[in-house]
Chains A and B, each alone.
Chain A
């Protein structure tokens, strides 16, 4: 349905999008993921014909967007990061305008009614958009996207600024849309992609760094051998014991202290469940184990690792300096990730709001 080949966009000397190619099939929901400034929005804007590309081609449903922009645009519904709403119109006027603007040929009343039903804005139909809450505004934006029943729907950060209940509703809505539309969801919120998308494309510094099915990435998340353990006892001795214990290949204290308890990151050997033996050993020594958590790599970690690794590679090339390689380097990354995970888990509930805002 969407076919992007060797897409490049440069602004002067700055390359915003650097040779991106991918394809999206019909009915697929693809998460387009990347840190701020990675080139997500630029790619979205080129995909929708808002910006033109420096090189490469974009085909929507077999139609080149530069050759036949009007035909291609008819097949796309686009919700920019900031929904394009006219605050001085009522919802009805706005949707009527969108209907006319897109030159829609469907039965006006029935079509708009159906859309209002789907995005649940019937009760505000005659209100001024400027008076609506953020959640409703977002939905009106989505309603506008759906007008004309486009084959391809593109959302740029659709859940920004919504409360958790609204986020869930919008995600469900997007998933439902995926049944008969091709959806591209651009975001930097990882849970969102995990919850909604079939496939994830990760982009950083204008290049695709990963293009995987969500299941594959989730599987990597579940098969972890890493734990964080909270143990009461003298830090140095506990650490020495952990490092000597068979079955543990790696142990590192984390900068976290709770009374006389310290937190450690432990990595077990492949195929060994060290949790029970760890418990008994600690009991013998008289160091109570007060917390043990499996640290599966969250999508966020994978994301950071991939993005970091890419940055590392580039640095290597540029500086040609010696960088720690192999197991040591990997563990450094792991330790950093664990620390970050520990922080993020601490404020798990809060972080949903934080990420939403940043």
Chain B
């Protein structure tokens, strides 16, 4: 598993894709941050995070599209599948490599918060005595909670993208289908109310796949274990499905 993990991680940087991903991610997140906080004249980061999630829908497929599609195309998967490594650890090695890239980009993007804290420090010194009675500055709990939440949402997106990557040899197809699937997971949330969909069962299913609705608590600075459990199980479902795809191919 470690060998595959390291190989995947290295391959992000041998090809341009790793740099492209991190570059685009940092540029867009910085831009979003400017617009949603500094320019909008607010300390609240909730808009920043909810827009960042939409950006992830487009960026995560960059990380996942090649995971299996490329191996299949170059027939290198035979080497992995005939090596003394189980399918599960092969899949997990790849999954964690993509997740590491993603987590790294999220962590690096935390430098976005520095200007906000700088502004807060400035305002506090201007406010003088008053600063002791009211809170001036961004909410640490909101930022931390949102960071944890977005890490898990990204983890789900990666699992979905990885699963789709096993279904095709074509990286571009994998990326496009992943984007479509992620959009299909998120979009129905906006119409998911009783006025439009009367059936409770349908609403329940749509809600089950709606990773955004569980993000609200994180965004409010609450650490929601139920949501974390939900995200982890959603990841497991797709990781398991990926393993099954390979298992099924073996049994032909």
Give B1-32 as 1s and 0s: 1 = Cβ < 8 Å from A's Cβ atoms. Answer: 01110110011001100000000000000000
Q: Is the CB of B83 within 8 A of A85?
A: no
B80 contacts which of A70, A71, A82, A101 (Cβ < 8 Å)? A101
B14 contacts which of A51, A82, A88 (Cβ < 8 Å)? A88
Q: How far is the CA of A48 from the CA of B77 in the complex (A)?
A: 13
Nearest CB of chain B from residue A259's CB, rounded to whole Å = 52
Instruction: Name the interface residues of A51-96: CB closer than 8 Å to any CB of B.
Output: 51-52, 69-71, 73-74, 76, 78, 80, 82, 84-89, 93
Q: How far is the CA of A74 from the CA of B86 in the complex (A)?
A: 12
What are 19 residue pairs bridging A and B, where the CB atoms are less than 8 Å apart in the complex? A9-B252, A49-B81, A50-B81, A50-B82, A52-B251, A70-B84, A70-B86, A78-B82, A80-B79, A84-B76, A84-B78, A85-B76, A86-B76, A88-B14, A98-B79, A101-B3, A101-B4, A102-B83, A103-B3
Whether A87 touches B252, Cβ cut-off 8 Å, given contacts A100-B3, A101-B4, is: no
B interface size (C-beta, 8 A): 25
Q: Is the CB of B85 within 8 A of A101?
A: yes
**Residue B244 interfacial (CB < 8 Å):** no
**Residue A280 interfacial (CB < 8 Å):** no
Nearest CB of chain B from residue A339's CB, rounded to whole Å = 38
Of all chain B residues, which has the CB nearest A74? B84
Give A258-297 as 1s and 0s: 1 = Cβ < 8 Å from B's Cβ atoms. Answer: 0000000000000000000000000000000000000000
Whether A73 touches B4, Cβ cut-off 8 Å, given contacts A80-B75, A82-B75, A89-B14, is: no
Q: How far is the CA of A334 from the CA of B9 in the complex (A)?
A: 61
Q: Is the CB of B78 within 8 A of A88?
A: no
Q: How far is the CA of A99 from the CA of B6 in the complex (A)?
A: 13
Q: Which of B3, B11, B15, B78 has the most CB of A within 10 A?
A: B78
Whether A100 touches B2, Cβ cut-off 8 Å, given contacts A50-B78, A84-B74, A84-B79, is: yes
Give B72-102 as 1s and 0s: 1 = Cβ < 8 Å from A's Cβ atoms. Answer: 0011111111111110000000000000000
Q: Is the CB of A101 within 8 A of B83?
A: yes
Chain B interface SS verdict (over half): helix
Q: Is the CB of B79 within 8 A of A52?
A: no
Q: How far is the CA of A181 from the CA of B160 in the complex (A)?
A: 43
**Residue B135 interfacial (CB < 8 Å):** no
**Residue A144 interfacial (CB < 8 Å):** yes
The 3 closest A-B pairs by CB, nearest first: A100-B3, A84-B79, A84-B76
Q: Is the CB of A80 within 8 A of B78?
A: yes
- Residues from chain B with Cβ under 8 Å of A48 in the complex: 82
Instruction: Name the interface residues of B223-252: CB closer than 8 Å to any CB of A.
Output: 250-252
Interface size class of A (residues with CB under 8 A): 20 to 34
Q: How far is the CA of A51 from the CA of B247 in the complex (A)?
A: 9
**Residue A22 interfacial (CB < 8 Å):** no
B11 contacts which of A82, A88, A144 (Cβ < 8 Å)? A88
Give A210-232 as 1s and 0s: 1 = Cβ < 8 Å from B's Cβ atoms. Answer: 00000000000000000000000
Of all chain B residues, which has the CB nearest A88? B14
Whether A97 touches B7, Cβ cut-off 8 Å, given contacts A51-B250, A80-B78, is: yes
Q: How far is the CA of A102 from the CA of B81 in the complex (A)?
A: 11
- Residues from chain A with Cβ under 8 Å of B85 in the complex: 70, 101, 103
Q: Is the CB of B75 within 8 A of A84?
A: yes
Q: Is the CB of B82 within 8 A of A86?
A: no
- Residues from chain B with Cβ under 8 Å of A80 in the complex: 75, 78-79
- Residues from chain A with Cβ under 8 Å of B3 in the complex: 97, 100-101, 103
Whether A51 touches B76, Cβ cut-off 8 Å, given contacts A70-B85, A101-B85, is: no
Q: How far is the CA of A251 from the CA of B245 in the complex (A)?
A: 60
Q: Which of B7, B10, B84 has the most CB of A within 10 A?
A: B84
- Residues from chain B with Cβ under 8 Å of A49 in the complex: 81-82
Nearest CB of chain A from residue B101's CB, rounded to whole Å = 17
Q: How far is the CA of A85 from the CA of B6 in the complex (A)?
A: 16
Nearest CB of chain A from residue B172's CB, rounded to whole Å = 18
Nearest CB of chain B from residue A47's CB, rounded to whole Å = 10
Q: How far is the CA of A340 from the CA of B3 in the complex (A)?
A: 51
- Name 14 extra pairs, CB < 8 A, besides A85-B76, A100-B6: A50-B82, A52-B251, A70-B85, A73-B82, A73-B84, A78-B78, A80-B75, A84-B75, A86-B11, A86-B74, A98-B79, A100-B3, A101-B85, A102-B84
